[in-house]
Amino acid sequence: MNSIKYKDVLYEHRELAHLKDLLDSSAALFRDKDAFLVKDKPGGPYRAVSFGEFKADVDALGTALLSLGLAGKNIALLGENRYEWVVSYLAVTNGVGVVVPLDRELCAGEIAHFITRADVGAVIYSGKGERVMEEVRAHVATECYISMDAWENTGARRSFSRLTEEGKRLVEAGQRGYLDARVDPESLCAILFTSGVMGMPKGVMLSHKNIAANIRNMSRYVDVTGDHTGLSVLPMHHTYEMTCHILTAVYQGCRVAICEGLKHILKNMAEAKASVLLGVPLIFENMHRKILRQKERTGKTRRIRGAVTLSRLLGGQNLSAARWMFRELHQATGGALHLFIAGGAPMDPEVIKDFCAMGIPMIQGYGMTESAPIIALNKDKYSKPASVGLPLPDTEVQVIDVDEDGIGEIVCRGDSVMMGYYRDEEETKRVLVDGWLHTGDLGYFDGEGFLYVTGRKKNIIVTKNGKNISPEEIENYLYDIPYIREVLVWGLEDGKNGDVVVCADIFPDSAFAWEEHGRPLTDDELKSALKEAIDKVNEKMPLYKRVKRFALREEEFEKTTTKKIKRAQQSGIGRRGRREL
């Protein structure tokens, strides 16, 4: 059993007890500084909101929510990324009750189900979900519904703007119940529904201390103080975006620009002069692919590849030289890029190396909702592209039940580990053992204490002779093939000899094939090109890990809102898309 408790930090920041402490202290430290850049209408210019204005809005809404009798209630929150979403989140947590962020892409039945399971007393939602919420209201008896876009109060539906205005009047009249509310760091702060480590959706209970500890400890490895702007791209209902980006930015005094959507990332980066982007691998890999494709169309592929190779040989030590070599990229994205941070799924280390060579330092981290969420993170001044980093300060991480290759299950304990699953003692006991969170992920440490994640315990393919194969490892090899856009690896029992063979479902990159050959390829030609490329990849792996069969898909894999493939629902014959095994 390997155990690492990392103590060395790069940066020290103020103590942090709870989220009310977070907002109060940041508003005092950065009152006149821009906290958010928002757009009043799609495609319009960004407008700045200061930390002082932000706190006033939170205090006003919180005061109004108390006046509605919602003290101590669980309050659901759903909608697209927007300033009102963040105001609502902190208004609820900092003196009203418990926030329950929900995925806005859920159907009415699923929303109603989670509202019931979480004992929700009120719902704050975006006007874009009005039709869905009408269905929800017909089936769930909730005390209050608050629309972020309604102009007037109508029946059970309240207007967010009217409530905020009323809250400001109450504060000006001397009502201080919300402003003076005390928050217990050990108290429940948020219930977040996740698949957890055992499959079925569960309500992860995070305390104020869990989230506050994660924010402070992340900030001891990565610094975004000063004149930095982060672009909020990932859904805010995920703790990865909300804690690692939004709340950490508020803590460090970094402004946040709200992105208009995935299609507008590059445009919004340039408009906001974003210097920090936190995302999932798919976002960065698509960006990397687009950069190379654009150069291919202008006949500069060899030049950019040569420049990347040269910069990588120099070790990426000279950022100014790298930024000069790739000045067109930096100018197109606003000229302020400082750091890319990847998480939520395994990241191709070659993509990280390429971005670093282009003058954009890039790191990755690792975590799960049950740990609020970060467990390990690379430092912004010292990182390893293939590693998810070092255990956070004050977080102990072990690798247990290690196999012959030195790989075992990752477990951790510390202040960020959840309180448990909401109203689910049995699952809580399975996952939390003597204070240790069993992640269900597999990995190992190197000699310097850097953690490497190799896959999910439940995804492991076991051969008849007892060999364990991580599908994620094979997928990483296959993603080096430019003909492959998406891939999912799984095991199939071979009827001939009873052993398990490795299979791959592939959604091909038809655009690359067209550009490479100057015309669209037939299915037979594409399969032939893929077979040749897969044979070369197989040579890098031992016999039992080699891909023996593959199939082409006509459609992309179904994904979560953080762009992770829904593996359990799509591997194997008979699932969505064409199978030609």
Kindly state the DSSP code that residue 494 receives in the 8-state scheme.
Answer: -
Average pLDDT over residues 383-395: 96
Residues in the chain: 581
Show the beta-strand stretches assigned E in 92-176: 98-101, 120-125, 144-147, 157-159
Provide the strand spans (E) within 401-521.
408-414, 420-421, 432-433, 436-445, 451-456, 461-462, 468-469, 484-493, 500-508
pLDDT of residue 580: 43
- 48 in helix, strand or coil? strand
Question: Where do the domains of the chain lie, and which CATH numbers do they carry?
Answer: 262-457 (3.40.50.12780), 460-570 (3.30.300.30)
pLDDT per residue as tens digits for the range 70-106 = 999 999 999 999 999 999 999 999 999 999 999 998 8
Helix H or strand E encompassing 116: helix 108-117
The residue-averaged pLDDT of 555-569 equals: 76
Structure tokens at 293: 């494709």
Average pLDDT over residues 331-335: 89
- Across the range 15-31, mean pLDDT stands at 98
How many percent of the chain have pLDDT more than 90?
A: 65
Q: Tokens at residue 52, please? A: 């002082």
Tell me the pLDDT of the chain averaged across its residues.
89
- Rounded to whole angstroms, how far apart are CA atoms 211 and 205? 11
> Which residue, chain included where needed, has tokens 């300060």?
393
Model pLDDT, residue 227: 95
Residues 516-531 have pLDDT tens digits of 788 888 888 899 999 9
Distances (CA, A) of 443 to 126, 134, 270, 393, 513: 40, 46, 38, 19, 35
* pLDDT beyond 70 at 316: no
Cis amide prior to 373 (ω within 30 degrees): yes
Summarize the confidence of residues 351-371 as an average pLDDT.
94
Helices 51-67 and 19-29 cross at an angle (nearest 10°) of 140
- 3-class state of residue 277 by DSSP: strand
pLDDT of residue 578: 40
Pairing of strands 362-367, 374-377: antiparallel
Please tell me the predicted confidence (pLDDT) of residue 581.
40
Q: What is the average per-residue pLDDT within 555-574?
A: 68
For residue 320, pLDDT beyond 90 = no
* Chain-centroid distance, C-alpha 11: 23
pLDDT greater at residue 319 or residue 316: 319
Mean pLDDT, to the nearest integer, of 369-398? Answer: 96
Please check the confidence at residue 137 and state whether its pLDDT lies above 80: yes
Query: Looking at the predicted structure, is the pLDDT value of residue 376 above 60?
Result: yes
Given a contact cutoff of 8 angstroms between Cβ atoms, the answer to whether 11 and 220 are in contact is yes
